[in-house]
Structure 1
Amino acid sequence: MDLIARIAEIIVPVFLIVAIGYGYARRKPTDLVVFNRIALDVLAPLLVYTALASRDFDLDGQAPLLVAGTVLILGCGLLAWPLSRATGAQARTLVPVVMFNNCGNMGLPLALLAFGPAHFGAAVALFSVSNLLHFSIGARITSRAARTRDLLTSPLMIATVLGFFSAFTELRPPALIASGMKLLGEASLPLLLFALGVRLTGLTRQGLALGLLGAVARPLIGLGLAIPLAWALQLEGAARGQLLLFSALPPAVIQYMLADRYQQEPEKVAASILVGNALAVVFVPLALALAL
């Protein structure tokens, strides 16, 4: 019963905010264009930078977790290739959906509630590594026409580089400035969950059929790799928990933006993302039960 109560304490606040966003958008049509631009250009970069530059973040101590996260992402992609061939799905559609998870909108708030502020930097580091791979390898998998340079010079990627630089050199802004940056960055956490709820209003019956494969394959393949990977790298405690939670997250919302930009079956990608985030109510508690 204690484990069930602990899992409920973690997931109920997250899904409550998602539900509020969903309910609001059902009553009033909501345009996320401006919010997406602010989130990607201002809020998320500040969140990433301040977490990585924090004195609580130990870059050397988190190296095994970051290696594990990188191997997990690449391993999911390798396993998704034969899955796409076996099911007749286009590899450029399915592989990025299975490789990259929603470690921003959903993963960061869940990690903060599950493992506390002391381990939040590790979750942000995983998020940063995922973004780096997503905007390079993931973009090229989605389309041969993807311009990786444009993606890697985005504010989010610049903030990631600066954050790791501060963690390595211990050069940081003055505390007064850093506090304001952190406050604004952390505002993105509930707003990203609210926006996720808004996006779920786009789920249709047709989308349920189209998106089920990617939605289920993403967390199942992830967990199937994460458990032996955590054992092989001897991850324990919060590091093991972070990896298991990371592995079970649904497909990344940002993959829809890439699929739409390059017209790589964006409707199927959107379906996988929406169904996957709806099914997170099943897979996230499973991962937390294994992690806690």
Structure 2
Amino acid sequence: MLLRIVAILFPLFAIVAVGFVVGRRKRPDLTQANQLNMDVFVPALVFAALAGKPFRPENDIPLLLATLALVAGSGLAGWALARATGIAPKTLVPPLMFNNCGNLGLPLAVLAFGEAALAPMVVMFMVSNLAHFSFGAWLLDHKVRLMTLWKVPSVMATFAGLAVGMSGVALWEPLLLSIRMLGEISIPLMLFALGVRLSDSRITSIRLGVFGAAMRPLMCMAIAGVLLMLFDFPPLQQALVLTFGALPPAVLNYIFAERYHQEPEKVASMVLIGNLGAVVFLPIALAFVLP
């Protein structure tokens, strides 16, 4: 089991490590690459995953609701924790609420559970992503305009993919293959960019960073455990719910904190230490869910 977990996680952390080393030595500017990833490759991945399978509400809606419960439950627990510890809620809540389901969650799902796990993990990713760009942005700045959310390419790809999946119309296979190939660029690029981004981060608040890094997976895995006890999910969805709970804080938390001037150094510490802590928490989650 240990060797299997190492084999699953090694490609993820190896690519992140390469990005970290390149980031330290070369200081590459990935602004354009990251923009292309968010505007072209990730939307292609989302569309291909959703349009390439029939959309069955009885299968996908329970997972969607479970993801909402994980995100909202983590946010409420984070708010209570912030009030109890005296930490600014706008600093602590987002890193506990929004996890790295894009950079780490998508490739981890495929490596651990096979291609069948990609589409349901894309559903979880998009629920979390929509919540982050809407409620997460509003939490940091109540003046943010949410009506422009539909213009985000990955959001448009989500609705387009769902429309094709619900219609039952099968896309021409060469066209779907072309879109899928574009989408496959996104995962290694996200991992590499994560390593480069982490190489630029600085740990200025070690105690807060360790605290947030530990509470993020512990609280969300506890919420996931409650959901799995209360509701009867299929085996694959059970595995994805618990794995989703173990993921570290999203790098986007740091980007938002920097944009809205909400103690970005502290948030960066939680993100950096949290992603390093994934070496501990992801094997624990996989040990529970791997057959």
After TM superposition, the structure 1 stretch with the greater mean CA deviation from structure 2, 128-137 or 180-189, is 128-137
Q: CA deviation at 1:221?
A: 0.6
After TM superposition, the structure 1 stretch with the greater mean CA deviation from structure 2, 233-242 or 57-66, is 57-66
CA distance in 1, matches of 2:62, 2:31: 37
In the other structure, the counterpart of 2:276 is 278
Task: Answer whether contact 1:92 1:143 (CA < 8 A) is retained.
Answer: no
Aligned residues: 290
Q: Any unmatched runs of 5+ in structure 1?
A: none
Task: Answer whether contact 2:96 2:215 (CA < 8 A) is retained.
Answer: yes
Q: CA deviation at 1:56?
A: 6.4
After TM superposition, the structure 1 stretch with the greater mean CA deviation from structure 2, 100-109 or 26-35, is 26-35
In the other structure, the counterpart of 1:217 is 215
After TM superposition, the structure 1 stretch with the greater mean CA deviation from structure 2, 255-264 or 120-129, is 255-264
CA distance in 2, matches of 1:42, 1:208: 36
Q: CA deviation at 1:175?
A: 1.6
In the other structure, the counterpart of 2:153 is 155
CA distance in 2, matches of 1:144, 1:79: 21
In the other structure, the counterpart of 1:87 is 85
Q: CA deviation at 1:80?
A: 0.7
In the other structure, the counterpart of 1:141 is 139
In the other structure, the counterpart of 2:181 is 183
CA distance in 1, matches of 2:41, 2:142: 30
Q: Any unmatched runs of 5+ in structure 2?
A: none
Q: CA deviation at 1:117?
A: 0.4
Residue 99 of structure 2: SS of its match in structure 1?
coil
Task: Answer whether contact 2:202 2:265 (CA < 8 A) is retained.
Answer: no
Task: Answer whether contact 1:105 1:196 (CA < 8 A) is retained.
Answer: yes
Residue 145 of structure 1: SS of its match in structure 2?
coil
Task: Answer whether contact 1:105 1:193 (CA < 8 A) is retained.
Answer: yes
Task: Answer whether contact 2:134 2:146 (CA < 8 A) is retained.
Answer: yes
Task: Answer whether contact 1:57 1:121 (CA < 8 A) is retained.
Answer: no
- Does 2:70 match 1:44? no
After TM superposition, the structure 1 stretch with the greater mean CA deviation from structure 2, 184-193 or 166-175, is 166-175
Task: Answer whether contact 2:54 2:168 (CA < 8 A) is retained.
Answer: no
Residue 248 of structure 2: SS of its match in structure 1?
coil
CA distance in 1, matches of 2:215, 2:166: 36
Aligned amino acid, residue 3 of structure 2: A
Residue 136 of structure 1: SS of its match in structure 2?
helix
Alignment CA distance shift 1:152-1:253 (3 Å): farther
In the other structure, the counterpart of 1:192 is 190
In the other structure, the counterpart of 1:231 is 229
Aligned amino acid, residue 247 of structure 2: L
Q: CA deviation at 1:207?
A: 4.3
Q: CA deviation at 1:57?
A: 6.0
After TM superposition, the structure 1 stretch with the greater mean CA deviation from structure 2, 263-272 or 96-105, is 263-272
Paired residues for 1:1-292 under 5 Å:
3-55=1-53, 58-171=56-169, 173-292=171-290
Per-residue CA deviations over 1:67-99 (Å, capped at 9, x if unaligned) read 111111111111111111112111112111111
CA distance in 1, matches of 2:234, 2:7: 22
CA distance in 1, matches of 2:58, 2:166: 9
Task: Answer whether contact 2:42 2:154 (CA < 8 A) is retained.
Answer: yes
Per-residue CA deviations over 1:161-220 (Å, capped at 9, x if unaligned) read 112222222245422111111101111111111111112213434243342222221111
Q: CA deviation at 1:239?
A: 0.8
After TM superposition, the structure 1 stretch with the greater mean CA deviation from structure 2, 74-83 or 51-60, is 51-60
Alignment CA distance shift 1:179-1:227 (3 Å): same
Residue 58 of structure 2: SS of its match in structure 1?
coil
Task: Answer whether contact 2:45 2:186 (CA < 8 A) is retained.
Answer: yes
Moved over 4 A (4+): 56-59
Task: Answer whether contact 2:55 2:166 (CA < 8 A) is retained.
Answer: no
CA distance in 2, matches of 1:262, 1:229: 33
Residue 206 of structure 1: SS of its match in structure 2?
coil
Q: CA deviation at 1:148?
A: 1.5
Task: Answer whether contact 2:140 2:260 (CA < 8 A) is retained.
Answer: yes
Alignment CA distance shift 1:235-1:97 (3 Å): same
Alignment CA distance shift 1:137-1:171 (3 Å): farther
CA distance in 2, matches of 1:248, 1:57: 27
Per-residue CA deviations over 1:254-280 (Å, capped at 9, x if unaligned) read 222222222222222222111111110
CA distance in 2, matches of 1:243, 1:205: 30
